[in-house]
Amino acid sequence: MIEMQDIWKTYADGTHALCGVSVLIERNEFVYLVGPSGAGKSTFMKLIYREEIPTKGQISVNGFNIGKLKPRKIPYVRRNIGVIFQDFRLLPKMTAYENVAFAMEVIEAPRRIIKKRTMEVLELVGLKEKFNSLPAQLSGGEQQRVAIARAIVNSPAVIVADEPTGNLDPETSWGIMNLLEEINFRGTTIVMATHNREIVNRLRKRVIAIESGTIARDEARGEYGYEA
Ligand SMILES: Nc1ncnc2c1ncn2[C@@H]1O[C@H](COP(=O)(O)OP(=O)(O)OP(=O)(O)O)[C@@H](O)[C@H]1O
Protein backbone atom coordinates (compact mmCIF):
# COMPACT_ATOMS: atom_id res chain seq x y z
CA MET A 1 0.00 0.00 0.00
CA ILE A 2 2.68 2.52 1.08
CA GLU A 3 6.31 1.67 0.48
CA MET A 4 9.32 3.90 1.03
CA GLN A 5 12.73 2.74 -0.07
CA ASP A 6 15.73 4.66 1.23
CA ILE A 7 13.89 7.98 1.25
CA TRP A 8 15.86 11.17 1.79
CA LYS A 9 14.33 14.61 1.98
CA THR A 10 16.47 17.71 2.11
CA TYR A 11 14.65 21.06 1.94
CA ALA A 12 15.90 23.95 -0.19
CA ASP A 13 17.60 25.58 2.81
CA GLY A 14 19.67 22.44 3.39
CA THR A 15 17.63 20.99 6.29
CA HIS A 16 17.79 17.21 6.25
CA ALA A 17 14.25 16.22 7.27
CA LEU A 18 14.42 12.50 6.38
CA CYS A 19 17.60 10.47 6.07
CA GLY A 20 17.29 7.03 4.53
CA VAL A 21 13.81 5.94 5.60
CA SER A 22 12.55 2.55 4.42
CA VAL A 23 9.15 1.28 5.47
CA LEU A 24 6.28 -0.87 4.29
CA ILE A 25 2.72 -0.13 5.42
CA GLU A 26 0.20 -2.74 4.33
CA ARG A 27 -3.38 -2.21 3.24
CA ASN A 28 -5.73 -1.72 6.18
CA GLU A 29 -3.03 -0.98 8.76
CA PHE A 30 -3.47 1.77 11.35
CA VAL A 31 -0.10 3.36 12.09
CA TYR A 32 0.88 6.01 14.64
CA LEU A 33 3.85 8.19 13.76
CA VAL A 34 5.47 9.49 16.92
CA GLY A 35 8.66 11.35 17.71
CA PRO A 36 10.00 14.68 18.94
CA SER A 37 9.01 17.95 17.35
CA GLY A 38 10.95 18.54 14.15
CA ALA A 39 11.85 14.84 13.79
CA GLY A 40 10.34 14.55 10.31
CA LYS A 41 6.78 13.25 10.86
CA SER A 42 5.00 15.90 8.79
CA THR A 43 7.58 15.50 6.05
CA PHE A 44 6.95 11.74 6.05
CA MET A 45 3.25 12.42 5.59
CA LYS A 46 3.70 15.15 2.99
CA LEU A 47 5.64 12.69 0.87
CA ILE A 48 2.70 10.27 1.04
CA TYR A 49 0.18 12.84 -0.20
CA ARG A 50 2.70 14.32 -2.59
CA GLU A 51 2.86 17.76 -1.08
CA GLU A 52 6.62 17.18 -1.23
CA ILE A 53 8.72 14.90 -3.40
CA PRO A 54 11.73 12.98 -2.11
CA THR A 55 15.25 14.23 -2.78
CA LYS A 56 16.30 10.61 -3.18
CA GLY A 57 14.64 7.20 -2.93
CA GLN A 58 11.40 5.66 -4.07
CA ILE A 59 7.94 5.95 -2.65
CA SER A 60 4.89 4.15 -3.90
CA VAL A 61 1.34 4.65 -2.70
CA ASN A 62 -1.43 2.37 -3.83
CA GLY A 63 0.76 1.06 -6.65
CA PHE A 64 1.86 4.47 -7.96
CA ASN A 65 5.49 5.56 -7.90
CA ILE A 66 4.54 8.98 -6.61
CA GLY A 67 7.97 10.60 -6.60
CA LYS A 68 8.03 10.27 -10.39
CA LEU A 69 4.41 10.95 -11.19
CA LYS A 70 3.45 12.69 -14.43
CA PRO A 71 1.61 15.93 -13.55
CA ARG A 72 -1.63 14.79 -15.21
CA LYS A 73 -1.71 11.72 -12.96
CA ILE A 74 -1.42 13.75 -9.72
CA PRO A 75 -5.17 14.45 -9.25
CA TYR A 76 -5.92 10.77 -9.79
CA VAL A 77 -3.49 9.74 -7.06
CA ARG A 78 -4.57 12.51 -4.68
CA ARG A 79 -8.17 11.35 -4.73
CA ASN A 80 -6.95 8.07 -3.31
CA ILE A 81 -5.49 9.85 -0.31
CA GLY A 82 -7.56 11.73 2.26
CA VAL A 83 -5.75 14.27 4.43
CA ILE A 84 -6.75 15.54 7.88
CA PHE A 85 -4.96 18.38 9.68
CA GLN A 86 -4.73 19.58 13.26
CA ASP A 87 -6.35 22.91 12.33
CA PHE A 88 -9.21 21.38 10.25
CA ARG A 89 -8.66 23.67 7.23
CA LEU A 90 -12.31 24.00 6.27
CA LEU A 91 -13.41 26.69 3.83
CA PRO A 92 -14.93 29.32 6.17
CA LYS A 93 -17.61 30.62 3.83
CA MET A 94 -18.93 27.21 2.92
CA THR A 95 -21.36 25.13 4.97
CA ALA A 96 -20.47 21.68 6.30
CA TYR A 97 -22.32 20.18 3.32
CA GLU A 98 -20.52 22.41 0.81
CA ASN A 99 -17.10 21.74 2.31
CA VAL A 100 -17.61 18.00 1.84
CA ALA A 101 -19.40 18.20 -1.52
CA PHE A 102 -16.62 20.43 -2.86
CA ALA A 103 -14.14 17.55 -2.61
CA MET A 104 -16.39 15.56 -4.95
CA GLU A 105 -16.99 18.48 -7.31
CA VAL A 106 -13.24 18.85 -7.76
CA ILE A 107 -13.04 15.34 -9.15
CA GLU A 108 -16.15 15.99 -11.27
CA ALA A 109 -18.39 13.41 -9.68
CA PRO A 110 -21.98 13.41 -11.03
CA ARG A 111 -24.32 15.81 -9.24
CA ARG A 112 -26.83 13.30 -7.94
CA ILE A 113 -24.04 11.08 -6.57
CA ILE A 114 -22.50 14.09 -4.81
CA LYS A 115 -25.68 14.83 -2.87
CA LYS A 116 -26.27 11.24 -1.80
CA ARG A 117 -22.66 10.51 -0.87
CA THR A 118 -22.13 13.83 0.96
CA MET A 119 -25.16 13.25 3.18
CA GLU A 120 -24.05 9.66 3.73
CA VAL A 121 -20.63 10.65 5.06
CA LEU A 122 -22.06 13.52 7.12
CA GLU A 123 -24.32 10.94 8.74
CA LEU A 124 -21.37 8.62 9.33
CA VAL A 125 -19.53 11.37 11.24
CA GLY A 126 -22.70 12.23 13.18
CA LEU A 127 -23.36 15.63 11.60
CA LYS A 128 -26.31 15.07 9.32
CA GLU A 129 -28.40 17.61 11.24
CA LYS A 130 -25.68 20.27 10.98
CA PHE A 131 -25.17 20.03 7.24
CA ASN A 132 -26.14 23.67 6.77
CA SER A 133 -23.86 25.15 9.45
CA LEU A 134 -20.80 27.21 8.69
CA PRO A 135 -17.49 26.14 10.30
CA ALA A 136 -17.69 29.11 12.72
CA GLN A 137 -21.02 27.77 13.97
CA LEU A 138 -19.50 24.39 14.83
CA SER A 139 -17.36 23.27 17.78
CA GLY A 140 -13.76 22.19 17.18
CA GLY A 141 -14.74 18.53 17.37
CA GLU A 142 -17.57 19.06 14.91
CA GLN A 143 -15.28 20.92 12.54
CA GLN A 144 -12.82 18.04 12.67
CA ARG A 145 -15.69 15.66 11.88
CA VAL A 146 -16.53 17.71 8.80
CA ALA A 147 -12.84 17.55 7.81
CA ILE A 148 -12.93 13.78 8.26
CA ALA A 149 -16.10 13.55 6.16
CA ARG A 150 -14.34 15.56 3.47
CA ALA A 151 -11.29 13.28 3.66
CA ILE A 152 -13.30 10.09 3.21
CA VAL A 153 -15.99 11.27 0.78
CA ASN A 154 -14.13 10.01 -2.31
CA SER A 155 -13.46 6.65 -0.60
CA PRO A 156 -9.66 6.99 -0.51
CA ALA A 157 -7.44 3.97 0.05
CA VAL A 158 -5.35 5.92 2.57
CA ILE A 159 -6.03 8.56 5.20
CA VAL A 160 -3.13 10.67 6.39
CA ALA A 161 -3.86 12.55 9.61
CA ASP A 162 -1.36 15.08 10.99
CA GLU A 163 -2.14 15.47 14.71
CA PRO A 164 -5.90 15.26 14.17
CA THR A 165 -6.62 15.61 17.90
CA GLY A 166 -4.01 18.30 18.54
CA ASN A 167 -6.56 21.12 18.95
CA LEU A 168 -9.24 19.13 20.77
CA ASP A 169 -10.03 18.40 24.41
CA PRO A 170 -9.55 14.81 25.62
CA GLU A 171 -13.18 13.74 25.41
CA THR A 172 -13.64 15.11 21.90
CA SER A 173 -10.34 13.47 20.93
CA TRP A 174 -11.66 10.03 21.93
CA GLY A 175 -14.71 10.62 19.73
CA ILE A 176 -12.46 11.45 16.78
CA MET A 177 -10.40 8.32 17.46
CA ASN A 178 -13.54 6.16 17.50
CA LEU A 179 -14.42 7.58 14.13
CA LEU A 180 -10.95 6.94 12.69
CA GLU A 181 -11.05 3.38 14.01
CA GLU A 182 -14.43 2.87 12.35
CA ILE A 183 -13.06 4.20 9.05
CA ASN A 184 -10.05 1.88 9.38
CA PHE A 185 -12.37 -1.02 10.18
CA ARG A 186 -14.22 -0.32 6.94
CA GLY A 187 -11.00 -0.86 4.99
CA THR A 188 -9.01 2.40 4.86
CA THR A 189 -5.31 2.46 5.72
CA ILE A 190 -4.57 5.18 8.29
CA VAL A 191 -1.29 6.92 9.06
CA MET A 192 -1.61 9.34 11.95
CA ALA A 193 1.10 11.57 13.42
CA THR A 194 0.45 12.31 17.07
CA HIS A 195 1.95 13.65 20.29
CA ASN A 196 -0.91 12.16 22.31
CA ARG A 197 0.64 9.57 24.59
CA GLU A 198 -2.65 8.51 26.15
CA ILE A 199 -4.26 7.68 22.83
CA VAL A 200 -1.22 5.72 21.59
CA ASN A 201 -0.91 3.77 24.84
CA ARG A 202 -4.62 3.00 25.14
CA LEU A 203 -5.64 2.29 21.55
CA ARG A 204 -2.71 0.05 20.70
CA LYS A 205 -1.58 -0.03 17.09
CA ARG A 206 1.64 -0.13 15.10
CA VAL A 207 3.98 2.64 16.24
CA ILE A 208 6.70 4.08 14.01
CA ALA A 209 8.96 6.47 15.89
CA ILE A 210 10.90 9.00 13.86
CA GLU A 211 13.90 10.72 15.40
CA SER A 212 16.22 13.11 13.55
CA GLY A 213 14.87 11.95 10.21
CA THR A 214 15.30 8.22 10.72
CA ILE A 215 13.08 5.40 11.98
CA ALA A 216 14.17 4.81 15.56
CA ARG A 217 11.51 2.22 16.37
CA ASP A 218 8.82 0.28 14.54
CA GLU A 219 6.62 -1.93 16.73
CA ALA A 220 3.33 -3.71 16.25
CA ARG A 221 1.03 -2.62 19.11
CA GLY A 222 3.75 -0.30 20.35
CA GLU A 223 3.85 2.36 23.04
CA TYR A 224 4.24 6.12 22.81
CA GLY A 225 7.60 5.87 24.53
CA TYR A 226 8.38 9.51 25.30
CA GLU A 227 7.89 11.50 28.47
CA ALA A 228 4.82 13.74 28.34
N1 LIG B 1 9.48 23.71 3.98
C2 LIG B 1 10.55 23.51 4.77
N3 LIG B 1 11.72 24.13 4.53
C4 LIG B 1 12.79 23.92 5.31
N5 LIG B 1 12.81 23.12 6.41
C6 LIG B 1 11.66 22.49 6.70
C7 LIG B 1 10.47 22.65 5.92
N8 LIG B 1 9.49 21.89 6.48
C9 LIG B 1 10.03 21.30 7.54
N10 LIG B 1 11.34 21.65 7.69
C11 LIG B 1 12.30 21.17 8.70
O12 LIG B 1 12.43 19.77 8.54
C13 LIG B 1 12.53 19.13 9.81
C14 LIG B 1 11.36 18.13 9.97
O15 LIG B 1 10.15 18.85 10.06
P16 LIG B 1 8.73 18.17 10.18
O17 LIG B 1 7.70 19.23 10.07
O18 LIG B 1 8.67 17.02 9.24
O19 LIG B 1 8.79 17.61 11.68
P20 LIG B 1 7.65 17.00 12.64
O21 LIG B 1 8.21 15.75 13.22
O22 LIG B 1 6.39 16.89 11.87
O23 LIG B 1 7.50 18.10 13.78
P24 LIG B 1 6.23 18.51 14.71
O25 LIG B 1 5.99 17.35 15.64
O26 LIG B 1 6.72 19.74 15.41
O27 LIG B 1 5.09 18.77 13.77
C28 LIG B 1 12.53 20.24 10.85
O29 LIG B 1 13.86 20.57 11.12
C30 LIG B 1 11.85 21.39 10.13
O31 LIG B 1 12.27 22.63 10.64
Beta-ladder partners of 4: 23, 59
Per-residue pLDDT at 23 exceeds 90:
yes
Report the atom number in ligand 1 closest to the C-alpha of 40: 18
Q: Which residues contact 132 (CB under 8 A, 6 or more apart)?
A: 95, 96, 97
Question: What is the C-alpha separation between 169 and 72, in angstroms, rounded?
Answer: 41
Per-residue pLDDT at 227 exceeds 80:
no
Per-residue pLDDT at 228 exceeds 70:
no
Report the atom number in ligand 1 closest to the C-alpha of 43: 18
Per-residue pLDDT at 107 exceeds 90:
no
Cβ density class 84-104: b for 16+ within 10 Å, e for less: bbbebebeeeebbbbbbbbbb
With CA atoms as reference, report the closest residue to 6 among 52, 51, 40, 56. Answer: 56
Q: How far away, in angstroms, is 132 Cα from ligand 1 center?
A: 36
Question: What is the C-alpha separation between 143 and 38, in angstroms, rounded?
Answer: 26
- Stretch 167-178: mean pLDDT, rounded? 91
Q: What is the ipTM of this complex?
A: 0.97
Per-residue pLDDT at 67 exceeds 90:
no
Contact residues of ligand 1, CB 6 A cut-off: 11, 13, 15, 17, 35, 37-43
Atom 16 in ligand 1: residue holding the nearest Cα: 40
What local confidence, expressed as pLDDT, does residue 73 receive?
Answer: 82
Atom 28 in ligand 1: residue holding the nearest Cα: 38
What local confidence, expressed as pLDDT, does residue 144 receive?
Answer: 92
Model-wide pTM > 0.90: yes
Question: What is the C-alpha separation between 166 and 12, in angstroms, rounded?
Answer: 28
Q: How far away, in angstroms, is 194 Cα from ligand 1 center?
A: 14
Which amino acid does the sequence have at 85? F
